[in-house]
Amino acid sequence: MTFELTHTDPMSDARAGTITTAHGQIQTPIFMPVGTCGSVKGVHFSELKEQVKAQIILGNTYHLYLRPGLDILKSAGGLHRFGGWDRPILTDSGGFQVFSLTGIRKLREEGCEFRSHIDGSKHIFTPENVMDTERVIGADIMMAFDECPPGQSDYSYAKKSLAMTQRWLDRCIKRFNETEPLYGYEQSLFPIVQGCTYKDLRSEAAKFVADKGADGNAIGGLAVGEPTETMYEMIEVVNGILPKDKPRYLMGVGTPQNILEAIERGVDMFDCVMPTRNGRNAMLFTYNGTMNMRNKKWEKDFSPIDPDGCEVDLVYTKAYLHHLFKAGELLAMQIASIHNLAFYLRLVSDARRHIMQGDFTKWKQGVIDNLGRRV
Selecting among 9, 13, 140, 271, the annotated active-site residue is 271
Selecting among 92, 140, 268, 313, the annotated active-site residue is 92
Residues 6+ apart with CB under 8 A from 175: 127, 128, 131, 132
Q: Residues annotated as binding site for substrate?
A: 92-96, 146, 194, 221
Name the CA radius of gyration of the chain, rounded: 20
Residues 6+ apart with CB under 8 A from 320: none
Angle between helices 256-264 and 330-357 (to 10 degrees): 20
Contact 142, 150 (CB under 8 A): no
Rounded Cα distance between 324 and 305, Å, is: 13
What number of other Cβ atoms are within 10 A of residue 69's Cβ? 12
Is 306 considered catalytic here?
A: no
Residues β-bridged to residue 286 = 289
Q: What are phi and psi of 92, to 5 degrees?
A: -70, 150
Is 132 considered catalytic here?
A: no
Rounded Cα distance between 357 and 352, Å, is: 9
In this structure, are strands 283-286 and 289-292 parallel, antiparallel, or unpaired?
Answer: antiparallel
Q: Residues annotated as binding site?
A: 92-96, 146, 194, 221
Active-site amino acid positions:
92, 271
